[in-house]
Structure 1
C-alpha cells in the first residue's frame, strides 16, 4: 500500500473529498454480519486506506454534502432578517437588506453550481469558496460601519447565521482544521466589528456568539464522520453482497449448464457404443457453445433478450427443450409486454428452464404444459406435467429448486411453489413475480 493512512484521520483532515478513498483497503471484517462490539467495527471502518486510490464517482458525489450548510443559510438568513425587521423596523434596513440579498444570492449560486451537469472542477469550487469566505469575513465589518448602534447587534445576528453556515461549509468541504482556524479567527473579527460600531470590544458578547460557532463546528464534524463511516460501511456491505450474488450466479450457471450436460451424458441409454459417442459429442459441443456465449457475449445476449417480450422468451425456451426431447405446450394469456421488467422476465425464463429440465430428468414423461397468466398483481407461470411425481418428504428440494428456482426468483421479489401428488400424480411448479 502506497502511503497508507487512517480513513478517519483523512476524513477529519481533508473533509468530504476523503470519502473518495473509502473503497480502498476494505477489510472483510467490516461487513461481517456476526455480532461485533460497536467500537471494534468503528475501528475497522476507520482503518487503513490507500490515499492514491480515489473513486471518481465518489469524488464527484461527495461535493453534495456541502448542500447542508448552504440550505441552512438559505433558510436561516432570511428568517433572521425577518426578526431584525420586526425588532428594528427601518433602522439600518438598507445595509442589512443588501447583506441578506447577497447571502441568498451566494447560496443560490452554490446550489446551481452543485446541481449543474458539467464536470466537477476543483479550481472553480475553490474560487466560489474563496468568494463566499471573503463575503463572510467582510460583511460584519461593513455592517459595523453602516448600521446605527441601536440596531447593530440585531444586524450582527443576521450576519452570524451566515457565519455559522460558513464554519460548517469549511469543515465539510476542507476538513476540521479549516473549520477550526476559521472559528478561531472569527472571535477577534467579531470584537473588531464591535469596536468599529460601539467603540468597545464587547468580549462577553463575542464569546456568546463563539460558543454557538463551536457547537456548529461540532455538528459539522459529527455529520462528516457519520457520512464517511456510513459510506464505507455501505460500500463494504455492497461489496460482500455483490460477491455472494456473483457466487450464487456462477453456481446456478454451472448447475444449469455443465452439471445438466454431464447428467444427460450419464443418462444416455443408447446401446450402440458408436451412437453413444456421437450423442455425447453432440451434447458436449452444444454445452461448449453455450458456455462460450455466456462468457463472451453476456451483455449482447441480454440486449438481444431485452428486445423480446416474455411470451417470445418462453417460446424460444420451448423450442430449446424440444430439441432435447421435451414437448412443452405453451399457453400465454394476453399480456402487456411492458408490465414486467427485463430483469424479472429473465429470472422467470431461467427458472422455467430449470423446472422443465427437472421434468425431463425425473418425471418419466416427455410432455409438459406451461401456462402464463396475470395473478395477484404480478405474472404467474405454471408448469404442469403428468409424470411420476414424488414425495417431498422422501425427496427434499435440491440445489436446482432451492437455488436455480427459489433463490433466483427471490432476488427479483418473486416466489415459487412446487406441488406433487402421490406417485403418478405429476408435478406442478408455480412461479410468480410482481409487476
Structure 2
C-alpha cells in the first residue's frame, strides 16, 4: 500500500491520525503506517518552507494499517540502546574499580555482567532468523524493566555505604539504556513511566543502604534521563519523517521511471511500426496493403508477448550472456531487412550485471533501428569489446550520415539510448558526418 488508504476491509473509511502523534505514542512500530496517506505534495521538488514540508510529512496516516517490511525494519532501531548498554555499563564498572579497588566489587560486578548478558541476548534475539513474536518481545521488555529496578535494589542492599553512590552509577547506565529502549520500542509514554518509576526505586535503594532516603541524590540523575528522553524523541522524529520523505520520493521516482519505460516501449514498438508504414515504398496498392498487414500483425504479436510474458522473458534472458542477447538482436534486425555483422571480442561477461546487459541490448536495438530508418543502407557492423572498465558496443554504418548540429537529438537518442544507459551508469556517443556514415558508441561499466 503506497497511497492513502480509502476503505477498511469492512468497507468503513480508515481511522486517520497524525503520523507524528502516532510515532511519538507508539514508537518505531508506527513506521509501519508510513506508507499510508502519502501524497505527491510530500515529494514535490518545488522548494518549500521547511515547516510546511515537515507538516506535510507529519500528516494523516491510517493508524490501523501495518506494512510488514517497515515493521520488521523498524524493530532494529532498538539495537542502538542495547549496544549502548554493552559499552556504557562495562565503562562505568571500570571507573568504579579504578576508584575503589576491590571494595564492594562483587555485587556491582554481578550487576554489570547481568546487564551485559541481557543486552547481548537482546541483540541476538533481534538478529536471529526465526519469525518475530510480539508476545515474546513484550515479555522480554517487561523482564528487562523488572531487572532494571532490581539492579537499583541489589546495589542498595549489597554495597557498602561508602561506595554506594558510585556503584549505583553502574546500574544507572543500564537504566538510561532501558529508558531509550522503551521510548524507541513502544513510545514516549513508556519511557516517561520508567523515568517516573526510577525515583521511588532509587529512594528505596538509598533507604535500604543507609536507613534514610536522600531525595536530592535520587533526583540528580533526572537531567540525564531527560536528555536521554529528548534524544529518543529527536531520533523518532528524524527517523519517522525521513522515512516518509524517502518513501514519497521513491514512489514519485518509481512512477516517473515507469512512465519513461512505457514511453520507450511505445517509441520502440508502436511508433517505429507506424513510421515504417508511413515511410513505405510506392509499390502496388495490394502489395502495400499486404506489407501493412504484416507489420500490424507483427506489432500486435510483439505487444501481446511484452504484456503477457514479460516476466518469463526476463527469467529466460537472465541465463543468456550478452553475446547471445546481441546475436538474437541481430537475427531480429535481419528479419526487418538490416544485415548486422556482429564482431565480439573475448569478454568477461560474468562481471556485467543483468540490468546493464538489458539496458545495453535495448540501446543497441534503438541504434540499429535508427540505422534502418535514416542511414539509407542495409548493412551495419556491431563490435563488442572491453573498454575503460566496462563493455562498449560500437555500431558503424557507411550510410548517408548527418550533421549533429543540424539534427538535434530526438526521443530515440535522448530517451531510448541516453536515458536508458544513464540509469545504469553508462554513456552514449553519436558521431556522424554527411556522406560518411554514423558511428554510435554505447558503454556501460562493469
The equivalent residue for 2:420 is 408
Q: Deviations over 1:379-421 (max 9, x none)?
A: 0100011111111121100000000000000000000011111
TM-score (ref. length: structure 2):
0.96
* 2:196 is the counterpart of 1:184: yes
Q: Higher mean Cα deviation, 319-328 or 196-205?
A: 196-205
* 2:419 is the counterpart of 1:426: no
1:233-272 aligned at under 5 Å gives the runs 233-272=245-284
Separation in 2, partners of 1:198, 1:32: 63
* 2:168 is the counterpart of 1:168: no
Q: Which of residues 396, 410, 427 in structure 1 aligns to 2:408? A: 396
The equivalent residue for 2:345 is 333
Separation in 2, partners of 1:170, 1:387: 72
**Stretches of 4+ aligned residues off by more than 4 angstroms:** none
Q: Which of residues 46, 68, 75 in structure 2 aligns to 1:63? A: 75
SS of 1:239's partner is helix
Separation in 2, partners of 1:383, 1:93: 78
Q: How many residues align?
A: 434
1:17-416 aligned at under 5 Å gives the runs 17-416=29-428
SS of 2:281's partner is coil
- In structure 1, stretches of 5+ residues that fail to align are none
**1:279 Cα offset (Å):** 1.1
**1:93 Cα offset (Å):** 1.3
Separation in 2, partners of 1:332, 1:184: 74
Q: Deviations over 1:221-274 (max 9, x none)?
A: 111111111111110110011000000000000000110011111122151122
Q: Which of residues 412, 417, 434 in structure 1 aligns to 2:429? A: 417
Separation in 2, partners of 1:27, 1:33: 13
Q: Higher mean Cα deviation, 145-154 or 200-209?
A: 200-209
**1:337 Cα offset (Å):** 2.3
SS of 2:349's partner is coil
* 2:22 is the counterpart of 1:10: yes
SS of 1:255's partner is helix
SS of 2:142's partner is helix
**1:91 Cα offset (Å):** 1.3
SS of 1:30's partner is coil
SS of 2:376's partner is coil
Q: Deviations over 1:280-318 (max 9, x none)?
A: 111111111111111111111011111111111001000
SS of 1:170's partner is helix
Q: Deviations over 1:152-204 (max 9, x none)?
A: 11110000000000000000001011111111111121112111112222122
Separation in 1, partners of 2:334, 2:71: 53
SS of 1:254's partner is helix
Q: CA RMSD in A?
A: 0.9
**1:128 Cα offset (Å):** 0.9
Q: Deviations over 1:118-169 (max 9, x none)?
A: 1111001111111111100111011100111111111100000000000000
